[in-house]
Amino acid sequence: MGIRAIVFDAYGTLYDVQSVRLLADELCGAQGALVTQLWRLKQLEYTWLRTLMDRYEDFWQVTHAALLFALAAARIEATPARIDRLMEGYLSLAPYPETAAALEALRQHKLAILSNGSATMLEKLVLNSGLAPLFTEVISVDRARHYKPHPACYALAEAALGVTKSELLFVSSNGFDVAGARNYGFTVAWIERGAPQPDIPTLRDTYRLLRGREEQLGLAPEYRLQRLTDLVPLLRQL
């Protein structure tokens, strides 16, 4: 059977986690770039630690803890006002420029998000971006009480959408997520936002280089794309 559903990761795939940098610059001054990078890196690390330790908390709490770590590491005072404004920034992350056009072009398929984000975070994010009407389902790993790349997270997509693995295309820009989805048995398209750049890497590239590149686990994606709109010709082939 052909592809009936396309499931997207949210953070780093549809939405630019680096877009919080402008707010971090405003609130943290010269340390804004450092806070932005440490925050995201620690956020992911805490999801993996909590899954391994079987101490699940939702992604809002994980994001809050990671922010406290980043502010302390950058020697920025963690005032309630600063924390609240930065946390709110995660509810209004900017979609990548091609996100809306790509989703519109793929509307003949069931479209869904499968994300580490809590249900409330994801609901506000898709509403604030104006993309909510395009999705059949917005699935939080809260339902599994584990974080990606745990297999229980990927199993949520089949159940929510009423499709089998062979009818689903999973799309992510995060190397660990690509490996997790492939390990589960999904067909995977990798948006290579971490592709090598011609310039010398800077602090802003830290996350891209660590999380946006292919993991060396023997779980390569079937398809490698440069942007979300490349999914349109791919789906015609499939």
User: 209 and 114 in one domain?
Assistant: yes
Residue of 9, 25, 54, 199 marked catalytic: 9
Quick check: is 9 catalytic? Answer: yes
3-state secondary structure of 113: strand
Beta-strand pair 110-115/137-140: parallel
Predicted model pTM: 0.90
User: Which of 89, 119, 142 finishes a domain?
Assistant: 89
Task: Tell me the two tokens of residue 56.
Answer: 């699940």
CA distance 166 to 62: 33
Domain assignment of residue 186, given as a range: 5-16+93-237
User: 224 and 154 in one domain?
Assistant: yes
User: 158 and 203 in one domain?
Assistant: yes
User: 109 and 29 in one domain?
Assistant: no
pLDDT one digit per residue (tens) for the chain, 238 residues? 589 999 999 999 999 999 999 999 999 999 999 999 999 999 999 999 999 999 999 999 999 999 999 999 999 999 999 999 999 999 999 999 999 999 999 999 999 999 999 999 999 999 999 999 999 999 999 999 999 999 999 999 999 999 999 999 999 999 999 999 999 999 999 998 865 555 545 655 665 666 666 777 788 899 898 899 989 889 888 7
User: Which of 40, 55, 89 finishes a domain?
Assistant: 89
213 closest CA partner among 169, 180, 185, 173:
173
C-beta separation of 168 from 3 below 8 A? yes
User: Which of 47, 71, 89 finishes a domain?
Assistant: 89
User: 226 and 169 in one domain?
Assistant: yes
Count of domains for the chain: 2
User: 29 and 81 in one domain?
Assistant: yes
